[in-house]
Amino acid sequence: MKKVMLIVIVVLLASLSFAKATEITFWYALSGHKGEVFKDFIDEFNSIQDDIYVKGVFSGKYADTSQKLMAAIAANILPNGGVVPAGPIFTGARDNYLILDYLENDSELDMDDYYPAMWDYARYEGKICAIPYNISTPVMYYNKDLFKSAGLDPEKPPQTWDELLTYAKAITKDENGDGNPEIWGFDANDTPWIFKAFLAQNECGIIESSTLNPLFDTEAGYETAEFWKKLIDEQAMPVGIHDIAEKRFLGGTLGIYMGSSSRIGSWLGNTEFDLGVAYLPAGKVHSIPIGGAVIVLFPYSDKENDATYEFIKWVTEPERVAQFSINTGYIPTRKSALKIEELEDFMEEVPEYKTAFEQLKYGFSYWHFYEMGTMDNLIWEGLEQIERELMGPEEAMNWISKELEAEIEANK
């Protein structure tokens, strides 16, 4: 009797383990509605096949996800994969280029279907170690009502730096005459991101990706810093209240705001004023630094890795990419996604999205490197020094370069 029982149990266990799908854990740093869209993808994937079961985990916003990843590395409990910020730092910097093997061996994938800037955003020391996923670019939002009251044509947003300066100056207004304008022409929350856009528009490479040589202390860098100072000096942009730029824009007291294209969806039709969305104005050239999160793969057993890539492959197919863009407003990462009918119709319907999506042809990115966060901190500080007149534009750019070089050197 005992023997029979034992056999039954063994058979049961064996059949269970055979039928059991490979379970993988997948994090996503997408909150709110965007997170739900991604969760729906996971549910759909789980329902259309039986071999793989993806356990989706919302890992918090970008900063929280970074912290959780660091903790997971220390505790050796990384997920199988995820949509995470600064992905290459968590993969390439740890010698994990596994995803590249999968990409190269994927005969159905044409890597040129992604924009080159996208791949640059997924590189560490020149090698791809992630797949671009929820990508956004800075776009220019503007308040058409304020344009009108300043005597500007609301259908003609500024297209060059000069126009940006003159338009913003025209919008700035000191209504009670106390010397502190109540309405400002131009501002941005994330000044390092916008300043990097200006640098690139002035043909300054920001940093040489292959040698990590900072390029702030070049003629192109100085000119950009001088333009920043001009915006301050001519009262086109306020000093030191960047943190509340977005709030002020939504409150109707800021004419032009530059920020992530991922706001389009939630702002459109919900502002008290007539909202305009446009390309960033061009300097010498058009250029847009891309930002956002990427898909990464952390190595476990071959079976789990295969399963993880299977899911990644499915979720980055053009149909899903298009669907994700329509539902979230993130930039479609693949050219073929733009040709999918639903997305074409969508861009027709909401031309503001077309602006953001098409802008990608001017997108650029440097490769991920370890001191990226340090660099952004330094840019913030350098700009503050310029705005408060503690350093001249040239001096501030030299300072950023020097500090950054020292930090990169110290980490080599």
The residue range among 29-37, 90-98, 283-291, 313-321 that interacts with other proteins, by the rule CB under 8 A, is 90-98
The residue range among 10-18, 25-33, 236-244, 272-280 that interacts with other proteins, by the rule CB under 8 A, is 236-244
Pick one of 61, 156, 303, 388: the residue that binds other proteins (CB under 8 A). Answer: 388
Pick one of 40, 125, 203, 384: the residue that binds other proteins (CB under 8 A). Answer: 384
* CA Rg value for the chain: 24
Task: Tell me if 405 contacts other proteins by CB under 8 A.
Answer: no
Task: Tell me if 399 contacts other proteins by CB under 8 A.
Answer: no
Would you give the binding string for other proteins spanning residues 353-382, x where CB under 8 A is met?
-----------------xx-xx--x--xx-
Per the CB < 8 A criterion, the answer to whether 117 and 125 are in contact is no
Record the tokens describing residue 202, joined without a space. Answer: 């002035």
Under rule CB under 8 A, which residues in 181-220 are in contact with other proteins?
182
CB of 299 to other proteins, least distance (A): 13
Q: Is the Cβ of residue 90 or residue 186 nearer to other proteins in the bound state? A: 90
CB of 67 to other proteins, least distance (A): 6
Of 178, 283, 277, 181, the closest CA to residue 237 belongs to 181
The residue range among 22-30, 65-73, 271-279, 302-310 that interacts with other proteins, by the rule CB under 8 A, is 65-73
Taking the C-alpha atoms of residue 169 and residue 158, their distance in angstroms, rounded to an integer, is: 12
Task: Tell me if 253 contacts other proteins by CB under 8 A.
Answer: yes
Pick one of 39, 40, 53, 93: the residue that binds other proteins (CB under 8 A). Answer: 93
Pick one of 98, 170, 244, 350: the residue that binds other proteins (CB under 8 A). Answer: 244
Under rule CB under 8 A, which residues in 69-88 are in contact with other proteins?
70, 73-74
For the chain, give the longest Cα–Cα distance.
98
Task: Tell me if 178 contacts other proteins by CB under 8 A.
Answer: yes
Record the tokens describing residue 411, joined without a space. Answer: 């980490």
Residues recorded for the chain = 412
Task: Tell me if 300 contacts other proteins by CB under 8 A.
Answer: no
Q: Is the Cβ of residue 175 or residue 341 nearer to other proteins in the bound state? A: 175
Pick one of 30, 52, 78, 89: the residue that binds other proteins (CB under 8 A). Answer: 89
Pick one of 59, 65, 66, 328: the residue that binds other proteins (CB under 8 A). Answer: 66
Per the CB < 8 A criterion, the answer to whether 138 and 261 are in contact is yes
Q: Is the Cβ of residue 42 or residue 207 nearer to other proteins in the bound state? A: 207
Pick one of 15, 49, 67, 160: the residue that binds other proteins (CB under 8 A). Answer: 67
Record the tokens describing residue 19, joined without a space. Answer: 């039928």
Site residues for other proteins per CB under 8 A: 63, 66-67, 70, 73-74, 89-90, 93-95, 178, 180, 182, 240-241, 243-244, 251, 253, 370-371, 373-374, 377, 380-381, 384, 388, 390, 410
